[in-house]
Structure 1
Amino acid sequence: MRILLTGIPSYLQRTVARVSGATVHHKPYFDDIRSKKDLVDQVKKIANTGNYLIGEGAAYALRGHDVTYVPFWHLVNSRGANDVYDALNKEFDMCVFASANLLRPGYSADLEADVFEKLKMPVLVMGIGIQKREGLKENLPAGTLRFLEVLKQKESFFLTRGYFTAEFLRAEGMKFVKPTGCPSLFFAPNEMRHSLTSLANADLASAQKLALGGYLGSVADTIVDAHALLKPESVASYVIQDEVVAYNLTLPVDDNAPVYDRSSGRITGKTEYKHQEKWQRQNELMVFFDTNQWRAWSSTRDLCIGRRFHGCVIGMQAGTPSLMIAVDDRMREMLEFIGFPYIEAGVWNREADKKAHLANFLSKIDAQAVTERYSACEANFQSALKQVGI
């Protein structure tokens, strides 16, 4: 099958130089990232570095087929060029659209509606989910409703992040809807199972090399976590995903000033953000634009913990024990579907003795049950792909 893959990309989209018609031209290198401008621009291109895992997982699920990643921006920019869409419709048998929290009040999917109206082929929407359950239907923008109507009128398939999204889409009249979880969950299944087993047996007394994630620049939660879990002499390692564009974590230097060491993935320039003065540990800020480098670094950690779903998933892909602190409906939907152990942020934030609470929580994990649940979800994902013809 000849598959047009679009939507959220893997880190390999950084090599795309240009697209003409149905042909994608790649550079034989990645653009350098050293200066403040380089770093911020690269984050803006993906919006959130955790998205790389979604695109990578979607592409990996299609292995064995003739797959071409066509940037979504090319499909959008070519809406008025019938010859481009004629070439695309002739070249490909199916479009796979890697998605995430598309169903949300703050985003109108007008462009997606336009694109899929012009693509005359079956469409598989992979990984679609919601941002917030409450009042979802009443608050969806007109563009998103049109996007759903366009797909309803053609041969379309939906693999959702969880049960609630599946129920919503079925109620909207979509015929093929399967809850499968985010495709990133099935990129490295053996390592994921090892991570789950290791989490149940994690040694918190010696776990001092942590990968931390959250919303630095907005709230002080992760700083509090670091103080609770790390000894005074330990270094807190925090991984940035979108903070420099979405949560007011700034680099107060000239745009051309060097701020990033690409070899280590460490931000070396000066940073400023809310609650920065609360730190009582040495700390370092990391950011990765290559998932292999991110996984390699994660494999050196004793534990990944935080409020970022994909910031923990990549730790699991590296086989590192990882625990998520659920902060919103999108995380809960994915976690409840896949059956991973997690702690509610409201409960965790109120705990006076976080280390003791965490030790007690980990001691109650049934490693066999969670790994069996994961394996069943993996089989369900593969079964859904086969039903679609992939």
Structure 2
Amino acid sequence: MRVFLLGATPSFNMDAVSTPSERLAATGGNSGNQVIAYGLLRELSYSSVSWDYSIGTDRVNAEYDVIVIAAANFLFPAFDFAGMAAFIERTNLPCVMVGVGAQSNTFSPDIELKPGTKRLMEIVSERSKLIGVRGPFSAEVLEHIGITNVQVTGCPSYYMSCKPELKIAKPALPQTPRMAINLSRDVLKHSFDADQMRKVIRQIASEAVRYGADFIAQTEMDEIILTESPGTPEADAALERAYGFFSGIADEPALREWLRTHMRVYWSVDDWIREVKTCDFVFGQRFHGNMIAIQSGVPAMFVCHDSRTTEMCSFLGLPYVSLKELDTVNARELYEKADFAPLAQRYAELYPAYRTFLETNKLPHKLGSSVSGKVAAEIS
């Protein structure tokens, strides 16, 4: 099978982009997007793959057998996928979309989608047996616009181990644990409650300063500049902006030192996995930042701040706490609260259903069908 990939991409040419803003743009504005495509490609069997849309639709028609879309929160009022819709319409290939999700600060399915986004979903519906959506709410949003050939699969990153069991061990947290956090501090308006989200973000960061935890940035440009361009005037300016947001969560010298030395960003999923495997615990608001930990066998707690993260965590059996429920953030309490038994049970139910989804859409895959010995969630 020859796959042409649209949507999220698993990697980019680091030599072609040198500045932090260029690198972030190459990921589609969120380094976590790479995890979606990385996970999906790990699951598929293919002879060749490309995501270079600049080759044009004539070559795509001639050189590939199927268009696969590694989808994210496409069902969002501000996004318009008219360009992707037009690209697919100029081909005659089947098209399979995996992991499309809705994003909103409510659970009303009446999301005002752009015409181009609606057209994209119509084309994919016409050219595939089933559309893979992230959760029941996303399915409702599509049903609201007349699209019903869907299967709730969750995100393809959930299955990236390609193994039929997913079990996370939770030993006692060490006295001086190695932790990492992730935050969504630049998307306050997407949350259920912007004021509560700001409060929780600052409390998570306060715990990170206390434990010397790394902040793994995904979209937060100031934090990315701090790790990518240390010692530059740009980093000095980014430090002042970040300090202005976090001011008061710790004494000034400790906070400034944390901002200078504990910001991280990973442009390679393999590098990200390698570093997260050294952690005892990961927590925060970024779905894929926490999913990297789960897929690496590291305990993680998801802090859900909108419909998108809540929908996925609830459907997939992931341990989570709602933004609405948090009065005070305490890292050790979050660790103790994290229960991975529902995840193991839910994964065992969803894994064969996801295999069936791929097979129904005639996508050859690498997902094993039997359990032999002790199966870990670790990526080999």
2:97 aligned with 1:113, yes or no? no
Is this contact kept in 2: 1:32–1:38, CA < 8 A? Answer: no
Corresponding residue pairs, total: 338
The whole-number CA distance in structure 2 between the counterparts of 1:165 and 1:115 is 24
**Which residue in the other structure is 1:237 paired with?**
214
Q: How do 1:158-177 and structure 2 match up within 5 A?
A: 158-174=131-147, 176-177=149-150
The whole-number CA distance in structure 1 between the counterparts of 2:217 and 2:238 is 14
Q: TM-score, normalised by structure 1?
A: 0.77
Gaps of 5+ in 1: 16-29, 79-84, 261-266
Q: How do 1:1-390 and structure 2 match up within 5 A?
A: 1-11=1-11, 14-15=12-13, 30-31=14-15, 38-46=19-27, 47-62=29-44, 64-72=45-53, 74=54, 78=56, 85-132=57-104, 134-137=107-110, 139-155=112-128, 157-174=130-147, 176-188=149-161, 193-194=166-167, 197-198=168-169, 201-204=170-173, 206=175, 208-216=177-185, 219=198, 221-228=200-207, 232=210, 234-244=211-221, 251=225, 258-259=229-230, 271=239, 272-273=241-242, 274-280=244-250, 281=254, 282-283=257-258, 284-348=262-326, 350-351=327-328, 354=330, 357-358=333-334, 361-362=337-338, 365=339, 367-390=340-363
**Which residue in the other structure is 2:370 paired with?**
none
Q: Residue deviations 1:235-288, cap 9 Å, x none?
A: 1311110100xxx658599xxx9439xxxxxx9996231323334255210111
Distance 1:227 1:191, change over 3 A: farther
Residue 138 of structure 1: CA displacement? 5.1
What letter matches 2:296 in structure 1? A
The whole-number CA distance in structure 2 between the counterparts of 1:289 and 1:180 is 26
What letter matches 2:362 in structure 1? G
Is this contact kept in 1: 2:216–2:289, CA < 8 A? Answer: yes
Residue 316 of structure 1: CA displacement? 1.4
Residue 175 of structure 1: CA displacement? 5.3
The whole-number CA distance in structure 1 between the counterparts of 2:301 and 2:153 is 21
Q: Residue deviations 1:293-316, cap 9 Å, x none?
A: 111111111100001101101111
What letter matches 2:102 in structure 1? I
What letter matches 2:7 in structure 1? G
Residue 129 of structure 1: CA displacement? 0.6
| TM-align CA RMSD | 3.0
Residue 174 of structure 1: CA displacement? 3.4
What letter matches 1:277 in structure 2? S
Distance 1:131 1:258, change over 3 A: closer
Residue 275 of structure 1: SS of its match in structure 2? helix
Distance 1:259 1:39, change over 3 A: farther
Greater relative contact order, per chain length (Cα 8 Å cut-off, separation 6+): 2
Residue 165 of structure 1: SS of its match in structure 2? helix
The whole-number CA distance in structure 2 between the counterparts of 1:5 and 1:110 is 17
What letter matches 2:293 in structure 1? G
Is this contact kept in 2: 1:159–1:180, CA < 8 A? Answer: yes
Residue 213 of structure 2: SS of its match in structure 1? strand
Residue 208 of structure 1: CA displacement? 2.5
Distance 1:252 1:384, change over 3 A: closer
The whole-number CA distance in structure 2 between the counterparts of 1:88 and 1:141 is 26
Structure 1 range deviating more: 378-387 or 153-162: 153-162
Residue 125 of structure 1: SS of its match in structure 2? strand
Residue 166 of structure 1: CA displacement? 2.1
What letter matches 2:137 in structure 1? F
Identity among equivalent positions (%) equals 22
The whole-number CA distance in structure 2 between the counterparts of 1:174 and 1:66 is 32
What letter matches 1:95 in structure 2? I
What letter matches 2:215 in structure 1? Y
Residue 222 of structure 1: CA displacement? 3.8
The whole-number CA distance in structure 2 between the counterparts of 1:38 and 1:192 is 40
**Which residue in the other structure is 1:20 paired with?**
none
Gaps of 5+ in 2: 189-197, 364-380
